[in-house]
Chains A and B, each alone.
Chain A
Amino acid sequence: MKFKSLMHKVMGAMLALPLIPSLAHAFQAAPAHRADYNGWTPHEHYDAVWHETMLDITVLGVVFAIVTFAFMIMYRRHGHGERGKLPHLSGQAKIGWVVIPCMLFLGDDLFLYVKGFDLHNHFRNVPADATEVKLTGSMWNWNYVDVNGIDSDNELVVKQGSPVVLRMVSDDVLHSHYMNRYRVTEDLMPGRITWQWFMPDQLGESVVTCREYCGTMHSGMYGKINVLSAEDYDAYVAEQTASVPAVTGVASAATAADKI
């Protein structure tokens, strides 16, 4: 009887276990740099969560593999007639072996879920000062038109430190815009507008690929993001907008055809 009530207490405590990570999170003050996207870009945030997740699954996997491997060696059959002697579980042990592992799994799930929730919000809340770029995908070309009216194929030039939001649509089939450096993917589709944003924090070029199967040249549909310093960027805009009076649809279709 006494043992039973003790067991009930232990089980009750186990039920509370998964709450610990979420509570710990609630009491943790929001780090100052999170309010400021310049302090922590979504892709840096992504990498932090990624490393934690990788550590998490590595630890789980190694522990599990070691236990299994140890069992495999310890419990080899010796004699011809030898049989297994798995202890008979009591009713309570049976329930315990379901509830306790489940609570541990759930605890870990919630822990990661909360991390992911934060990261999700970071990726899905566009900063108010983001500049907009219209992106049209087609087989097999990325067409960017920015607020200055600069129209370019397979290369987007942006200013360092200034967040960019892409408004995206597809001309034909599904495509998916993935910016390798910025760790963000989102599909483009006909009939719907989707979006993604990123913070170009480092000068230089990075790769853009298509991540949704879109036909013969799916793997030939790639481009780059080119990040310029503020001065270089202003010079680039001045040069682009001065030269030609806005690129026409015909011209962009022609470049698209060149690609094929």
Chain B
Amino acid sequence: MSGFMGHEPDGKPGQPKTVKEWVFTLDHKVIGVWYLIGAIASFIVAGLAASAMRIELGSVGPDITDNGDIYNLWLTMHGAVMILGFQIPALLGFVANWAVPIMVGGKDMAFPRVNAMSVWLLWSGILLALMNLVIPDSYNGMWTGYPPYSLTDAVGNTALYSSVVIILGMSSVFGAVNLACTVAFMRCKGMGWFQMPLTVWCVFTANVIQLIFVPVLAASVLLLSLDKYLGFGFYNPEVGGDVLLYQNLFWFYSHPAVYVILLPFMGILFEIFATSARNDVFNYKATVWSVIAFIPVSSDVWVHHAYVAGLPDWLRLLQTFTTLLISLPFGLLMLSLTGTMYRGAIRYTGPMWWAVAAFFMLIIGALTGIPNALSAVDYGISDSYVIMSHFHYVMAVSGGMAIFAGVFYWFPKLTGRMCNEMMTKLTAAGFFIGMNLVMGPLYFAGIEGMPRRYMDYQMFADNATITSAHHWSTIGLYITFVSALLMIVVWLHGAIAGEKATSANPWGSQSLEFTATAIIPGQGNFPTPVSVPEGWHPYNYIDNPAPVFEPHPGHTGGHH
């Protein structure tokens, strides 16, 4: 029954050759690359929307548009595509698909056909979302889609919004089942749970969170469509519905979703930090348990998105406390990251530059979250640029930078070529400086009262802090824009004309995807089934026993 697995290991290194092989592939690595291409295309589209907004906000009064609906379309597209099209697919698609099966020593995902279906669902979701740019009644209700606004005609095509969310949600759920099974059942001989790289743990946990919460999101937007088009009244107060029900359902998913992004990108940072420092991860087991602790803790924090939405006072106070508890597992992860440098032997490669930059953004982002968690402090900053700046630091920018770090890190395994190191470092520095200039001043604009989702701020025209913050922020955008563009050029140049990788393990990692595969791993990943001997650990840089290959590639037909 080899057909079930789709293919047998042929040991031949390299990528598919023909278009047909690319499109109809069942190989998890090629599927991972399809996710990556989708994610980067989304990043470009959403980044262009961000740039348009940022330029519009450069000064008081219209700069490039005075049409509120157009601006709101940009904003809606930017938020939705960045999260649903860029970050989640890059992390739970690309990293999960490309890296995780090899990292656990498996020859593919547990269900390759389901895997292919997930990626093509993602692509249909992205294409459907892009239709918003061409249809006449485009949707402008922001990625949160709050009723009752999303039930009115002014919002545009709510059905399109719900469909995109549901399709992407289906893609995530299929992907999550697949990945969880892969980690649980496809680990190579000898690899115990506590011998898995942290990226694997983080992606696995993130997928468990997805499995629990995505259905809630799907239900919440489905009810939205039923309300709007069939006159049900779940969220309609005129017929006894409740507008707050939506916010509770929506954030019950969407706050945990923040950790779905956070955990895998921290996993990438762990990988790069440990490899670059050739050092053990500080307190590995405790780190793993901290990752797992995110499941229960993240499930009880959603109300902090609705502190000022008329919720009962006792609930605000209770959820202030549970929200603050997140700082415990999160603090431990940050400590482990720093601890991984302790007495290390750090080599500053290109990926490490990106990872360190992401790490510093993460410190700022995490700490600026503490004021938001306190319900009473939130009364002054709710839905302001303080929040905007905070989440861009913690999720958008550090997450984005960690993703890019990961792309640079696994680049030689994807293409067999190296990116230019100098340029990699230059783009990292440019992005870091640019993004701090974009988001830093806006924090202070937020303190002064600048609300988010504004296309203009004429009421603050005589507030020098706010106007100059916007001015500097837009200058920061130009630096970021050039760096991002350059980064894409570096990738293209690397893939086509980069120096050929001379080693299958250019950074000196101990993880299986570097130590046990060809420069470009072929079908089935390992020439023959791999196993790890006792005492092997992905972060043991002192005396790791080498992985073992079974001499005869047994006919493993995929029944597990």
Contact = CB atoms under 8 A, between A and B. Distances in A.
Is A bound to B? yes
A50 B379 contact: no
B457 A64 contact: no
B238 interface: yes
Given A187-B309, A218-B453, A61 B364 contact: yes
Contacts of A212: 146, 383
Contacts of B341: 68, 71-72, 75
Contact of A98 (B72, B286, B356): B286
Interface stretch (B209-217, B248-256, B312-320, B513-521): B312-320
B313 A120 contact: yes
B243 A97 contact: no
Chain B: number of interface residues, binned into ranges: 35 or more
Interface in A48-90: 49-50, 53-54, 56-57, 60-61, 64-65, 67-68, 71-72, 75-78, 82-87, 89
A190 B148 contact: yes
A109 B283 CA distance: 23
B201 to A, nearest CB: 16
A105 interface: yes
B505 interface: no
B310 A119 contact: no
Nearest to A79: B345
A112 B370 contact: yes
Interface stretch (B328-336, B432-440, B473-481): B328-336
Contacts of A192: 237, 243-244, 310
Contacts of A216: 68-69, 72, 140, 154
Given A49-B376, A187-B309, A211-B451, A65 B363 contact: yes
A72 B352 CA distance: 11
B4 interface: no
B383 A185 contact: yes
A210 B453 CA distance: 10
Given A187-B308, A187-B309, A190-B243, A217 B68 contact: yes
Contacts of A190: 148, 237-238, 243
A75 B345 contact: yes
A87 B343 contact: yes
A209 B459 contact: yes
A207 B370 contact: no
B148 A211 contact: no
B328 A76 contact: no
B382 A211 contact: yes
Given A71-B341, A75-B344, A84 B382 contact: no
Contact of B328 (A78, A89, A106, A119): A106
Given A113-B374, A191-B242, A178 B148 contact: no
B363 A71 contact: no
B368 interface: yes
A219 B456 contact: yes
Contacts of A176: 308, 382-383
A219 B283 contact: no
Nearest to B321: A113
Contacts of A183: 379-380
Nearest to A85: B343
A184 interface: yes
Interface in A142-177: 172-174, 176
Contact of B244 (A120, A189, A219): A189
Interface string A180-220: 10011111011110100000000000010111111111111
Contacts of B142: 213
Contact size class for A?
35 or more
B370 A57 contact: yes
A124 B308 CA distance: 11
B279 A194 contact: no
Contacts of B334: 64
Contacts of A56: 370
A64 B363 CA distance: 8
Given A68-B359, A176-B308, A183-B379, A76 B346 contact: yes
B427 interface: no
Given A82-B278, A187-B308, A180 B449 contact: yes
Nearest to A43: B380
Contacts of A238: none
12 contacts: A57-B367, A83-B345, A83-B542, A87-B343, A109-B327, A112-B370, A191-B241, A192-B244, A218-B453, A218-B454, A219-B454, A220-B68
Interface of B: 68-69, 72, 140-142, 144, 146, 148-149, 152, 154-155, 237-238, 241-244, 277-280, 282-283, 285-286, 308-310, 313, 316-317, 320-321, 324-325, 327-328, 331-332, 334-335, 338-348, 356, 359-360, 363-364, 367-368, 370-371, 374-380, 382-384, 448-449, 451-457, 459-460, 541-542
Given A84-B277, A178-B449, A211-B384, 17 more contacts: A46-B376, A72-B356, A76-B348, A86-B282, A86-B343, A97-B335, A97-B339, A105-B327, A109-B325, A113-B320, A117-B376, A118-B376, A178-B384, A189-B309, A216-B68, A219-B454, A222-B459
Interface of A: 46, 49-50, 53-54, 56-57, 60-61, 64-65, 67-68, 71-72, 75-78, 82-87, 89, 94, 97-98, 101-102, 105-106, 108-109, 112-113, 115-120, 122-124, 139, 172-174, 176, 178, 180, 183-187, 189-192, 194, 207, 209-220, 222
